[in-house]
Amino acid sequence: MQDTLNIFKIGGGIIDDADQLSQFLAELARVPGRKILVHGGGKGANQMLTELGIAPQMVNGRRITDAATLDIVTMFYAGKTNKQIVAGLQAAGVNALGLSGADGNVIQATKRPVKDIDYGFVGDLTERSVNAQLLDQLLRAGLTPVLCAITHDGRGQLLNTNADTIASTVARALAALYRVELHFCFEKDGVLTDINDDNSVVPQITPERYADMKAAGQIAAGMLPKLDNAFAALEAGVEKVVIENALKINEPVKTILCRS
Ligand SMILES: Nc1ncnc2c1ncn2[C@@H]1O[C@H](COP(=O)(O)OP(=O)(O)O)[C@@H](O)[C@H]1O
Ligand SMILES: CC(=O)N[C@@H](CCC(=O)OP(=O)(O)O)C(=O)O
């Protein structure tokens, strides 16, 4: 039987709040077995860009990343945020290793081609983008890889890649080696039927229910690409995909995705 690998993704909402981040890291430390953490940080990046006089620009949930923006998000995601999370995990007793996609060639991306929109230095992934062998070796060595949203193209160019997409693609690539459980963690208890009612968590969601909820206008903003990535992972052999509160990963309340 394959070993279980838990892959967690946290976004900018949690990372931005020091107390919530350290609570999440303490909960993560309690999860037994092998694990990988993927982090974003879009909210803090928006704040930093604004402070530096650059207006953040998002289209369809993806950041338009010009050269100046790439410099700043690289410093923010691969530098401050990644190292702060690694230090927090060390403090919680987890031997974490922080990596961008360029480190150990762990994630190689392709610059998004210009169609209607020029996203600039944004990287797209395929399953072959992920160096699953290296991640497996690190896990076997007892390390917890902590992956940020910065990738590279193999020719010296850094790229900015959505962190939900990284989590989903890493999960798919490692599904050949492990029984993978993918956890998208954020500030709500799961997928809600009413965004204003925290008690309206849908315990299980099928592709049909997702389509109905979308048609009813119950799913918006960042939750749309998140669920698209989540269902894609489930279809590609990831054993279990969960949407849950970052502060309650060890509690039963959550949304579990079902194939049908
Ligand atoms: N039906 C829904 N249930 C829960 N959250 C939803 C729903 N529809 C939209 N959202 C929004 O999606 C957001 C999560 O997406 P996003 O902001 O991209 O998170 P992250 O930065 O953690 O990846 C939530 O903060 C919430 O406001
Ligand atoms: C290309 C692209 O959109 N990259 C994202 C990477 C960070 C991210 O995904 O952060 P959250 O998970 O906190 O949203 C961005 O710069 O916002």
Q: How far apart are CA 146 and CA 105, in angstroms?
A: 14
- Are 147 and 39 within 8 A, CB to CB? yes
* Paired tokens of 74: 């690289």
Pick the atom of ligand 1 nearest to 42's CA: 21
Per-residue model confidence as pLDDT tens for the chain (260 residues): 789 999 999 999 999 999 999 999 999 999 999 999 999 999 999 999 999 999 999 998 899 999 999 999 999 999 999 999 999 999 999 999 999 999 999 999 999 999 999 999 999 998 799 999 999 999 999 999 999 999 999 999 999 999 999 999 999 999 999 999 999 999 999 999 999 999 999 999 999 999 999 999 999 888 998 999 999 999 999 999 999 999 999 999 999 999 98
Q: pTM of this prediction?
A: 0.98
ipTM confidence score: 0.98
Beta carbons within 8 Å of 212's beta carbon, 6+ residues apart: none
Pick the atom of ligand 1 nearest to 12's CA: 21
Domain 4-257 has CATH 3.40.1160.10: yes
Coil vs helix vs strand at 145: strand
Check the annotation: does 190 bind a ligand. no
* Structural domain boundaries in the chain: 4-257
- Are 209 and 258 within 8 A, CB to CB? no
